[in-house]
Structure 1
Amino acid sequence: MARYQSILVATDGSETAGRAVDHAVSLASDADDMVYVLSVAHSRESPMSFGVETLEGIEAAVERTAAEVGEHLGEAAVSGMVRRGRPDDQILAAADEVGADMIVLGRTGSSGLADRVLGGTADRVVRRSKRPVLLIPETGAT
C-alpha cells in the first residue's frame, strides 16, 4: 500500500470539508508526515461560507483549523494556507508547490446545486490532478 507523507486537504468550511480534514488527519501519523490545510477564497464568492466577512477572517479560520488538526496529529506537522482564485486551479497549484503525495477534499462543499449540475471543484481536481485524490462524500450519501 502507498504511503502518503505529504497531504494537502482543501476546506471551504462546510461539514463535508470538515470530514475531509478528519480523513487527512487519519492518514498522517509519523513524525515525517505533513498535512497542509488549504482554503481558497474564490474571487466571485463571499467569505461568508466560513461565517466571516473578510479574507483575514478566512485566514484566521484556516489557522484555527490547522491548530485543531495539529492537536490530533501526534508527531506529524501541519501548516495552514489561504489563497484567492479559482479553487481547482489553486488546489492543484498548492499541491504542486508543496509536493503533496495526495489531495483530500469533500465531494460537495458550500457551493451547492450549481456544482452538482455543472461539475464542481472536486470533479475538476480529480480530472486534472497528477496525484491521488481522496474524495469524501456528503453525510448520508450513498
Structure 2
Amino acid sequence: MAFDGSADGREALAQAQGLALSCGATVHLLAIVDRTESMPVGEAMSFVVSDAQRLAVQAVIDEGVRRLHHAGCSTMGAMKYGRPSEQIVLAARDMNADLIVIGHRDQGTLARWLNGSVGETILHKPPCSVLVAVKPENRADNVSPLERLKTKETQKTS
C-alpha cells in the first residue's frame, strides 16, 4: 500500500486495514520520497534528500504501521526514492503482491495534466490488481490524524 499520510492516504489505510483483517493478509506500507521534489545540487543536477524530509517520511510510515498494528494487522513499512508510480509498481513486483492500494486525490483536469496521476500511471501496467480507495460522499471522515483526535477530545472535556 502506498501511504503518504494525507487524508486520502488515511482513507486508503482504513480500507486496506479492513481487507487485511478479513483475509489475514500482511500490509506492506510504502512511502516514496519523490526526487523531483528534492533539492538539486551542483551542475550534475543530482538530488539530495534532506534529513528533515527523510524524518518526515519515516514518521508517516511509523504512523501507518502503528495504526495497522493497533488494529491487529501484520504490517511492514518501507521508504523508497524515485517517481512514486514507478516505485509502487517495482515494489509490488518485487514482493509478488496480490493487490496495490492507493488513495485518490481529486484534482481538476489542468492539475492532473500538470502534476500527473500516480493512480492512472499505475493502471497502465500493474503487476496485480489495484484498489483506488475513495471515501464515500455520505460517510464522515473517520480516519482523522491522531493529533486532531486529541484536540477533539480536549475540546469535549473543556
**Cα distance change on mapping 1:32 and 1:139 into 2, 3 Å:** closer
| Farther-moved stretch of structure 1 (92-101 vs 19-28) | 92-101
Q: 3-state DSSP class of the match of 2:37?
A: coil
Runs of 4+ in 1 over 6 A off after TM superposition: none
AA aligned to 2:125 is R
Residues 84 and 90, structure 1, Cα contact 8 Å, conserved in 2? yes
Aligned to 1:60: 59
TM-score of the aligned structures, taking structure 1 as reference length: 0.75
Please state if 1:117 is matched with 2:113: yes
How far does the alpha carbon of each residue in 1:62-115 deviate from its partner, in whole angstroms, 9 at most, with x for none? 12211111111x2x4100111110001100111112221000001227xx5565
Specify the structure having the higher radius of gyration (Cα).
2
| Partner residue in 2 for 1:4 | none
- 1:55 counterpart letter in structure 2: R
CA RMSD in angstroms, aligned pairs only: 2.6
Q: Structure 2: how far apart are the matches of 1:116 and 1:90?
A: 19
Q: Which residue of 1 aligns with 2:20?
A: 28
- In structure 1, what residue type is equivalent to 2:113? V
8 Å contact 1:108–1:138 — kept in the other structure? no
- Provide the rounded CA distance (Å) in 2 between the counterparts of 1:124 and 1:64: 26
The answer on whether the counterparts of 1:102 and 1:134 sit within 8 Å (CA) in structure 2 is yes
Larger helix fraction of residues:
2
Deviations 1:4-56 (A, max 9, x none): xxxxx10122111110011100001268520011111100225xxxxx94212
Number of matched residues? 124
Percent identical residues: 26
Answer yes or no: is the 8 Å Cα contact 2:4–2:60 preserved in 1.
Answer: no
Shift of 1:140: 4.1
Q: Provide the C-alpha distance between the structure 1 equivalents of 2:8 and 2:136, rounded to a whole number of angstroms.
A: 7
| Structure 2 unaligned regions, length at least 5 | 39-50, 139-158
**TM-score (norm: length of structure 2):** 0.68
* Pair 1:116–1:138, CA change in 2 (3 A): farther
Cα separation, partners in 2 of 1:31 and 1:103, compared to 1, 3 Å: closer
Give 2:34's aligned residue: 42
Q: Distance in 2 between matches of 1:60 and 1:129?
A: 28
8 Å contact kept, 1:39–1:62: yes
